[in-house]
Amino acid sequence: MTESSEEPGCDSLVPQTTRVPLPPGLRSRVALGLTAAAARGRFELQVCRECGAVQYPPREACHRCLSVLLDWKLQDGGGELISETMLYHSHAEFFREHLPLRLGMVRLDSGPTAIVYLHRKVPPAPARVKVDTRLDKGGHAVLVAVPGDTTKMADTDMADNGLLQW
């Protein structure tokens, strides 16, 4: 049991609790499937049960055949970095202390284009990358890309700047 100070007037001496900013946390319900898999250490995307098309961003129906039968399935994450940016300005408070941020646009071998956090060891576009999921500081899945020949994702160090959870 913690003893609380009962001294009158003490409250004003206690430092104000600082609100810790978090990354944007709003997600559609269907997008939470990405987080559910990421929490188990898996990179899963929706795959159409009817035509096999891989979907990203997460959605309610297949972009190719309109089937609503989409199953979350494990992805190998292979893809090509087709473009990148170094971001120096953010509209969200959380990111301001993490700028500049290296972001990439990856064409996954399975079809979709994904916007990802880009590991510093990934060479300039065009380059082979491997995409995986991490949880951000708000507990939501985000996609990260590391060099294509990376074998153990645990060897990468994307968590050491405080941007992502490990």
Partner 1 sequence: MTTSRRQGYEDIVVTVPVTVPYVRRSNHGAHWFVARALAGLLEAGGLAKSALDGLCLSSFTLAPDTAVGVTQHLGLSLRWLDHIPMGGAGAIVGLRRALRAVQSGDATVVACVGADTNQADTFRTTLGSFSQFAQDAVYPYGAGGPNASFAFLTAYYMRTFGARREDFGKLCVAQRDNALAFPLALFKKPLTLQEYLDARPVAEPLHLFDCVMPCAGAEAFLVMRRERAQDLGLPFATVLGTIERHNSFPDDPIQTRGGWVLDRDELFAQAGVRHADIDLLQTYDDYPVISVMQMEDLGFCAKGEGPDFVRSHTFTADGDFPVNTSGGQLSVGQAGAAGGYLGMTEALRQITGSPLGAAVPDARIALVSGFGMINYDRGLCCGAAILAGRNA
CB of 75 to partner 1, least distance (A): 15
3-state helix, strand, coil in the chain (%, to 5): 10, 35, 55
CB of 49 to partner 1, least distance (A): 21
Task: Decide: is 26 part of the binding site for partner 1 (CB under 8 A).
Answer: yes
Measured CA to CA, the distance from residue 30 to residue 97 in angstroms comes to 30
Task: Decide: is 165 part of the binding site for partner 1 (CB under 8 A).
Answer: no
Stretch that binds partner 1, among 4-12, 55-63, 66-74, 149-157 (CB under 8 A): 55-63
Structure tokens at 67: 């089937």
Measured from the CB atom, the residue of 150 and 164 that comes closer to partner 1 is 164
Structure tokens at 49: 């049960």
- The H-or-E segment that residue 36 falls in is helix 32-38
CB of 162 to partner 1, least distance (A): 14
**Which of 120, 114, 134, 129 is CA-nearest to residue 86?**
120
User: 139-164: string of b/e by CB count within 10 Å (b at 16+)?
Assistant: ebbbbbbbbbebeebeebebeeeebb
CB of 63 to partner 1, least distance (A): 7
Q: Cβ–Cβ contacts within 10 Å for residue 59, how many?
A: 14
Task: Decide: is 23 part of the binding site for partner 1 (CB under 8 A).
Answer: yes
Which of 117, 122, 131, 164 touches partner 1 (CB under 8 A)?
117
CB of 110 to partner 1, least distance (A): 12
| Interface contacts to partner 1, rule CB under 8 A | 23-24, 26-28, 31, 56-58, 63, 82-92, 94-95, 98-101, 103, 105, 107, 113-117, 125, 136, 140, 142
